[in-house]
Amino acid sequence: MTKLPTILHKRDTYIEKIKPFMRTPIVKVMIGHRRVGKSFILFQLIELIRQEKADANIIYINKEDIEFDDMTNYKELHEYISKRLVSDRKNYIFIDEIQNITDFKIAIRSLVLDDNNDIYITGSNSEMFSGDLANELGGRYVEFRIYSLSYLEFLDFHKLSNTDESLERYTHFGGLPYLIHLPLEETVIMEYIRSIYSTIVLRDVVERKSIRNTAFLEQLIRFLANNTGSLFSSKSISDFLKSQNINMTANLIGEYVDALAEAFVVHRINRYDIVGKKLFERKEKYFFENMGIRNAIAGYKYQDRAKRLENLVCNHLLYCSYDVKVGALSPEEIDFVCTRGGETLYIQVAVELSLPDTIEREFGNLLKIKDNYPKIVVSAERSFENSYEGIEHIYIRDFLSSSLTPKMI
């Protein structure tokens, strides 16, 4: 393959997760929306392999490169790779944006039969990598979700100190890796972010789902951006839009929201009954995968501070590999119920903790949960005391600077 681009900043969190599966006949799948840095994680893996074995047989395909325009289906993919395989050593196969190849799963299923093949693929649509691929590969498949830069990665990429000013920049512009090549100025950054957003919506939502009513899709995305962190069902969204003289059925709204979640534009966070230990079928919260994209759509308004804060917390929890849900503790709500392995963590989010009523509500809701798992309140209030009746308070910048291991909670 051709010379790799220079890797200026390594995302070792992901590499460490992938390492245990390297050089095994298990397909490594990296998913996430466009321009989130999946390609550079592939380059980092290739660099790691070459450092250990300079003459490694590496086969690299990038479906966004014009060189591979003629490769459109699984037969052409299989033929291209088969011609480049060697039998006397390991073959390292990297395929970037594989969802652009029709029926690619058939080729991967065949290639994985040879234990000599070490396969890595990326894609920008979760539907393409759903249960079908896992079933076809008979369990020889592991998926890694790649997110926009975490707060600490953002600081590293932009060579910034961990200050409130840096946090404000991160909250405003989000964590698209390419931003390091641009001045951190509102007009420049937002123009770039809007172009990425348009590409994601057009190629991974509109074209893939053959959506005709693009005007309504834009209205729906704007609605979700303006109501980040609110509980909704497809029906409640439909009812609200009808009040605005926009008629769209709940079923169609559900399909559009599914498409946005599959393209990683938004995270869908389901509700969970803490007492009954079950998921509710109706009403979810939606958060944006990238804060910059959310702000490009809804604007960066002072009155949206609480929405942005909750979105930041959700994104960091997902980056730290938590399974995240909204907690229902009738009649109260717990902002996030988070599980990882055998751990459970409860989180409330508040912009300010200056009023007694706010303190009572945020900490009081957590006090009603009768188990011994960690419970914390995350806020933008630095001066508040560290704990309240045994429940920890964490300032948002400290929260985003942690890996959320048990001893840090």
**Closest by Cα among 382, 389, 340, 338 to 362:** 389
Mean pLDDT for 296-303 is: 96
pLDDT of residue 307: 97
What is the number of structural domains in the chain?
2
158 and 134 co-located in one domain: no
52 and 158 co-located in one domain: no
137 and 164 co-located in one domain: no
For 381, the 3-state DSSP assignment is coil
Query: 408 falls in which pLDDT band (50, 70, 90)?
Result: very low
pLDDT of residue 384: 87
345 and 200 co-located in one domain: yes
Written as six digits, the tokens of 382 are 């630095």
Judge whether 2 lies within some domain: no
Instruction: Report the mean per-residue pLDDT for the chain.
Output: 91
107 and 232 co-located in one domain: no
363 and 384 co-located in one domain: yes
Judge whether 3 lies within some domain: no
Domain boundary among 145, 161, 183: 145
326 and 279 co-located in one domain: yes
pLDDT of residue 125: 80
DSSP structure string for 25-59: SSEEEEE--TTSSHHHHHHHHHHHHHHH-TT-EEE
**Closest by Cα among 122, 149, 155 to 45:** 122
231 and 296 co-located in one domain: yes
pTM reported for the whole predicted model: 0.94
C-alpha dist (Å) from residue 359 to 20, 313, 352: 44, 19, 9
Judge whether 4 lies within some domain: no
Mean pLDDT for 134-146 is: 83
- Find out whether 395 and 381 touch, Cβ atoms under 8 Å: yes
Please give the share of the chain, as a percent, with pLDDT higher than 90: 74
Query: 129 falls in which pLDDT band (50, 70, 90)?
Result: low
Please give the share of the chain, as a percent, with pLDDT higher than 70: 96
The residue length of the chain stands at 409
Over the stretch 360-382, which tens digit does the pLDDT of each residue have? 999 999 999 988 999 999 999 98
156 and 141 co-located in one domain: no
The pLDDT of residue 318 is above 90: yes
Owning domain of residue 103: 12-145
124 and 197 co-located in one domain: no
134 and 261 co-located in one domain: no
271 and 188 co-located in one domain: yes
Cα–Cα dist 365/348, whole Å: 8
